[in-house]
Every structure is written in structure tokens, then in C-alpha cells.
Chains A and B, each alone.
Chain A
């Protein structure tokens, strides 16, 4: 059972907008402790998609955006493309565990 809770799967048609939620608690997301998002396609290592809640590393399209409200964070993907089909993970630092935690992952299917 992950400390951060994500929906197991989401789906959307090409061109649509989807959001992936990540729910934690007061010791991680609620504490604003470095919330990040990763994209992982099968057979490849994860790729940093969003860091520090809302920031995109160089090269990540602006179709990807992050937000946070209370003890939950969200990843939004607009203009869905077939290449976006992947697993997505949220991550945060947990002050009560004195370490980093990942969400259980969300599989995005592009219909």
C-alpha cells in the first residue's frame, strides 16, 4: 500500500484532456515537500516530467502541467497524443518517514 494514492488507470481519446490525482497527507504533499511527477514507458526508466509541483524540465511539452491543493497533487495532460500512453508516478518527500515515497502509479491509455 503506497503512502501516496493514485488511480490505477485513466484513459482518454486523442486531443482530450486527462488528469491524474495523487493523494497524500500532512507529512508529504500537505507539507509541500518537493512533489514530482514521472512518466515511464514500458521497458524504459522513468523520466522526470514535473518537479516541485508545477515546473517542467527543459524539453517537456507544455501540454503537461502540475498543480497542488491541500494534501493532493494533480498532473494534467492536454491535447492527448498516442505517445503519452505510459505509466505515471507521483513522488514526494515524507517528513514522518524521513524519506521519499512514490505513488502506486497510474496507467494512461490513449483510446
Chain B
């Protein structure tokens, strides 16, 4: 069974750096074609894609946020970590990680999400 679980702080202050961890099981991020993506959703708003890391450690970032984002993986721990610098109140959202088992197959398994509030 494939599962993903997001973890991280529920509250961060403006200008701080957010670090989120996606811990997964049931698949290997070393398998050819596999990747993990981060997506966020502000309250009452649409989904926004943030970043992706694939089996070959290639990284892709949202154009509008790439200067603030870093994605990395620890294959031995089955974890993908996303950091976002210089947090602002507009970054308040539920952050999801999701698996893509092949580039053409969509995000087939999602975590439950973790809610992050940015407030002083």
C-alpha cells in the first residue's frame, strides 16, 4: 500500500523559513520514472504546484516561487523535504505531497496534507 504523510510546523512567523517533510512508504523513489511533488492550497482557493523531485534527483520548481524553494530527497529514509524561505501571510495554506509513478500518469497518491499558518 502506497502512503505519503506530510509533517512540519503548524505555525511560522513572517520572514521565517518553512521546512516540510514528506515521509512515504510502499514505493521507492529510486525506481525509474518515479517522482514526488509538493502542492499547496490556500484556504478556499485552488491548488498550486510548487516543486517536484524525480528518481534521478532532477528538480523542478514553480517559476513564481523558485527563488524561495528547495526540494531534496533522502532515499534511505523514504523522505522528501521542501524548504520555503521568507514566509509571508499569503503562504498560509494546506501543503500536500503526492506521488507520480510515471511522468504521464498524474499524481496518483496524495498525503492528507499539513496546514501551515503564517502569522506573527
Contact = CB atoms under 8 A, between A and B. Distances in A.
B108 A51 contact: yes
A101 interface: yes
Contacts of B48: 102
Interface in B23-42: 37, 39
Interface stretch (B12-20, B60-68, B83-91): B60-68
A9 to B, nearest CB: 13
Interface string B51-67: 01000000011110000
Given A97-B63, A99-B61, A91 B46 contact: no
Contact of B110 (A46, A57, A89, A98): A46
A57 B112 CA distance: 19
B46 A103 contact: yes
Contacts of B37: 100
A100 B96 CA distance: 15
Contacts of A103: 46
Chain A interface category by residue count: 20 to 34
A48 B106 contact: yes
Contacts of B107: 36, 38, 46, 48, 91
Given A2-B46, A52-B104, A102-B49, 17 more contacts: A34-B103, A36-B107, A45-B112, A46-B107, A48-B108, A52-B105, A52-B106, A57-B108, A89-B47, A91-B47, A91-B49, A99-B52, A99-B61, A99-B63, A102-B47, A102-B48, A105-B46
Interface of A: 2, 34, 36, 38, 40, 45-48, 50-52, 57, 89, 91, 93, 97-105
The 6 closest A-B pairs by CB, nearest first: A36-B106, A51-B106, A45-B110, A100-B49, A102-B47, A105-B46
